[in-house]
A and B are shown apart, each in its own frame.
Chain A
Amino acid sequence: MTGYTYARAKSLEAAIDLSLRSAGNAHFLAGGTALGLMQRQGLIEPGLIVDLAAVPGLDAIEELDGVVSIGALCTLRRVELDAIVARRLPALAATIRHVASVRVRNQATLGGNLAHADPAQDPPPVLLVLDAALRIAGPGGQRRVALAEFFVDYFETVLEPGEIVTHVDVPIPAPGSRVSYEKFLPRTVDDYATVSVAVRIDRGADGRIADVRIALAAVGPVALRIPTAEGLVRGHAPDEIDLEAVAAAVRDTIEPPDDVRGSAAYKREMAGVWVRRVVGRLLRDIGTEAAG
């Protein structure tokens, strides 16, 4: 590890300004859980670290006009235990419980988790099916990016130099909506996913599936939705959906890597298995509700 300059920003503007004035290799520090690891492994060599801890106004969780807005500096633990999240986005709270340990979740932030763009992280697929969008501040002012357009490649996002994720906006799903997340951990409960799957199904008044989102993580460079699979569910009655075809669509789309968590072929197979299981379970849940 080589030397670097540390600066603590007192405002968003100062943070952006500081990072742009450095000769290069500026990194923002939020919770530091990922930054520290990457530094120790020699994956990054920051010249400047801009600490965001003292930047005000980025740690609130608010509900406004059908959207839950989560400040990017909220720790994962804070999101997991928040009353608004528990009531409006229970699937997000349940998903965050899969991330590392309480100790890590007390430190890691939601904004940092997304900006880190680790394709095996738990929150991204659930936030994808929830249609989350990010508010981003930068030298050119504010902009808004749908999470589906945010990830570019392994550990790479659309963030430009000087840009900081400030808020994660999550629309509250309609009452007929069901969301579920499954993390496949074949080795140990304490691991990154071999594959993970998030599914959201919105039941229409006619009993058909009004809308559906299927997203996966750990199966390629970015967490992603699978529109071909969604197309085989959307608009159909639950009992006419061919789950094996949905699974096949997923298998055909993803390009998982070979690694210690499984071969590419196995991960592809497992992605199909878990999509079939999660979609099937949500369809059964919806059927039960309709019958009840």
Chain B
Amino acid sequence: MTARLSPDAGTLAALARPELRIDGPAKVTGGAAYAADHVSPGTLHARFLGSPLPHARIVSVSVERARAMPGVHAVLTGSDVVDMRFGRRLQDRPVLAWDRVRFVGDRIAAVAADSVEAADSAVAAIELELEELPAVSDPEAALASDAPVLHPDAAEYAYLEGTRPPVPHPNVQGRLFIKRGAEDLEAVFAAAAHVVEATYRTPTQHSAYLEPHATVAWIDEAGVAHIVTTNKAPFTLRKQMAAALGIPADQIVIDAGVIGGDFGGKGYSIDEYACLLLARASGRPVRAVARYAEELGQVNVRHAAVMHLRTAVDAEGHLLAHDARILLDGGAYASAKPLPHLALAGSVATMAGYRVPNVRIEALTVYTNFVPGGHVRSPGEVQALFAGESQLDELAREIDAEPLAFRLQNSVRQGDEGAAGEHYREARAEAVLKAAGAAIDWARPRLPGTGRGIAMSARHVGAGKLPLRALLHADGRVEVRTGLPDQGSGSWQVIRRALAVAASIDEGRVDVVSVPTNEASFDPGVGGSRVTHIASQAGAALGTRVREWLEERLPAAVPAAAGDVHLIGDRFVDGAGNDVASIAAVTAKLIVADDPVELETVYDGAAAHAEGDPGDYDFAACAVEVEVDPDTGRVTVRDAVIAADVGTIINPVAHRGQLEGGFVFGLGGALMEELSVDGGAVTSLSLADFKIPSAGDVPRLRIVLVPTHVGPGAFGAKMAGELTNAPVAPAIANAIADAVGVRIRELPLSAERVHRALDEGADRMPLYTRARGLR
């Protein structure tokens, strides 16, 4: 195992300063250029014809009228692009459908015109004839033996980097299966003292980023394709585009940079493909900006889930066995899923952070005639944890155990394996549960109509390889050039601060410049809670390189400075603490103006771990107190605590923003966020109907940091982006059960749902509540 040391006091002091975000000034002054801002003279505007039906055969598409309309420069249909399919791993989604459409909004034709209005008019003039096919509306129906097979040609689909794992049914996109402990799980359940079994459901939701997907595509004189995009992983997009369109990757340049919010959705691109083909057909740059109704109705939704869970304890309340079958609505294409298994890694986290010796978990992503599911903040965990942490509470009540004590009894200790076989470098379950319980004053008597609930998550910190290049200028500036975008969470600020602290120079000297793929080295992009880890490590390594380079050459610049001189606090200081030289004085002597020195490092997050190393996990517990209006069912969160296992914090303001924002994100998912669907089509097509929390909905919220310095990032940093949202919904569901004795097994925990449960189940009060004599 790689030894990890705590950073020294000086480093910690430098990291504790509230940061001024590197991307802040441009954003608050309106100077930041987002993808949609890249409009050059002659740019055409793309609009698309989408399918009005969830499943249909395309009989005919007539575009003659559309082509003849004023201002129209190019019209493409599926028949122009037969066999062009795209995807992040499995390329199963047609750029434009030619034989059949598989969800409402599936693209059939694309138009490039002088104006958005002209393009809209041309789209409206396309004559489309469809023959409706039976639609598969939910994953359970999709797995029936006689269900229509949505992708009969799946064997022909390209699968990037490797071989697609086999699937048990043609409508399965991907599968995760975990089996631990006893071979005969049924025998363990049969012999157990107590068993609870229930089905939990979570709905289709949307991340509701501020900036819609946008792209501008053009082809230069040399025939090179240029794509400006909101995609947060430009190198992998380049690879996907090359494979889908049959263009060599070195003939595609992707420029991402400033992205206006992500929460998972910006890892997936749709319009880039057709826009590039339209640019080729028209000879002009082509720009597409999604309308928000299209975002909500057609792009990258959170997989709805149906989760059947069964969990057993022995007579002493120890978890004995867990069996989970998780069905996730993958929608019409697996195209948005990046991982090799084409499932959601987090969907097996039903009992993350708990010790369960006998386990079987099967999680399937399933094809349906619905919007393709993608990654949304803590993909899979949000669904699985709602089910698992709800079930743990039901189990505690079943055996009349106190829910927090029951969790503490069963949570992993150092050296324990998690339920899904996780090996934790540091098992912090007990610490976060106790901290959350203490902060919410768990044992304090409840007032009538109020209740408390708690839930925990344990999520892996992402990893990967990140090269970084710096230009050291004669005036003492350090200019980092990277292809890693900043989708708003502060990746560039992580690089800047890690570099500055490792080099012991002022942060103001460090600039981070976003460059397109042809000027940067491959990186995995933003996502999977990997950025703080790899960007801080790469930044710190580059900072160390900068410091060493300067210190080595110092005698050449300042002959008197031979000996024990170091760069400390932005100055060269000798062993006696005397100021020897400023950085600018040294760089001016060593570096020729306009000919900066280039320094490069590569951090490889996978290589930094020895084989068999335990994984880096972040634990968090959420505890809430709710009040339930018995007449209306309205749930009001009165008090909330997040106890978060955190490594060394690099940017305190952004870090707190992620933890608090994660809670609010989870609150929305818990109480209000649900895309309504009718006849296979999303009907809540505006943010007036699909509601997310506003500032006025946020309750008293306290963040309790449970610190460590054993993170995989520089100085011992961990992650923060996907740390706090997943446990919020089960904590609230558990608090509702505590308050009014009803168990809601479906999100969102709407007033109407609680009201209905109160109406139907007033006499089914759980033991735990009854024992306390409330109500």
Contacts and interface: CB of A to CB of B under 8 A. Distances in A.
Given A1-B117, A273-B631, A190 B691 contact: yes
A260 interface: yes
B755 A266 contact: yes
A213 B694 CA distance: 33
A102 to B, nearest CB: 13
A269 B632 CA distance: 8
Interface stretch (A76-84, A155-163, A180-188): A180-188
Nearest to A274: B632
Given A187-B672, A266-B755, A260 B689 contact: yes
Nearest to B684: A260
Contacts of B688: 192
Contacts of A270: 632
Nearest to A261: B689
Nearest to A267: B752
Contacts of A106: none
A169 B684 CA distance: 37
A25 B446 CA distance: 60
A41 B685 CA distance: 10
B117 A190 contact: no
Contacts of B693: 188
Contacts of B713: none
Nearest to A270: B632
A266 B694 contact: no
B37 to A, nearest CB: 21
Interface residues of A, number: 19
Given A260-B689, A273-B631, A186 B694 contact: no
B426 to A, nearest CB: 37
A191 interface: yes
Contact of B691 (A1, A2, A187, A277): A187
Interface string A176-215: 0000000010111111100000000000000000000000
A13 to B, nearest CB: 34
A39 interface: no
Contact of B750 (A186, A191, A273): A186
A188 B676 contact: no
B55 to A, nearest CB: 25
A248 to B, nearest CB: 15
Given A1-B117, A260-B684, A190 B632 contact: no
Interface string A38-52: 000100000000000
A121 B529 CA distance: 42
A191 B691 contact: yes
B697 interface: yes
Contacts of B30: none
A263 interface: yes
Interface in B641-698: 671-672, 676, 684, 686, 688-694, 696-697
A2 B120 CA distance: 10
Nearest to A189: B696
B634 interface: yes
A262 B691 CA distance: 13
A273 B759 CA distance: 14
Interface in B692-733: 692-694, 696-697
B684 A186 contact: no
A2 B124 CA distance: 13
**Interface range on chain B (Cβ under 8 Å from partner):** 20 to 34
B contact patch SS: loop
B694 A187 contact: no
A188 B631 contact: no
B697 A260 contact: no
B451 interface: no
B359 interface: no
Interface string A252-282: 0000000010110010011001000100000
A262 B756 CA distance: 12
A244 B686 CA distance: 37
Nearest to B671: A187
A269 B634 CA distance: 13
Contacts of A186: 632-634, 750-752
Contacts of A2: 117
A189 B756 CA distance: 22
Contact of A260 (B632, B633, B671, B676): B676
Contact of B632 (A41, A184, A188): A184
A131 B376 CA distance: 50
Interface in A276-292: 277
A191 B634 CA distance: 15
A190 B689 CA distance: 11
Interface string B271-298: 0000000000000000000000000000
Q: Which of A2, A187, A191, A262 has the most CB of B within 10 A?
A: A187
B152 to A, nearest CB: 36
Contacts of B672: 187-188
Contacts of A1: 117
Interface in A1-15: 1-2
A260 to B, nearest CB: 5
Contacts of B686: 41
Contact of B694 (A184, A190, A277): A190
Contacts of B676: 260
B159 to A, nearest CB: 39
In the complex, the 10 A-B pairs of residues with the closest C-beta atoms, listed nearest first: A186-B751, A189-B696, A190-B694, A187-B672, A266-B752, A186-B634, A273-B631, A260-B689, A188-B691, A188-B697
Given A186-B632, A188-B697, A262-B751, 9 more contacts: A1-B117, A41-B686, A186-B633, A186-B751, A190-B697, A192-B688, A260-B676, A266-B755, A269-B755
Interface of A: 1-2, 41, 184, 186-192, 260, 262-263, 266, 269-270, 273, 277
14 contacts: A184-B632, A186-B632, A186-B634, A187-B691, A188-B672, A188-B696, A190-B691, A190-B696, A260-B690, A262-B751, A263-B752, A270-B632, A273-B632, A277-B631
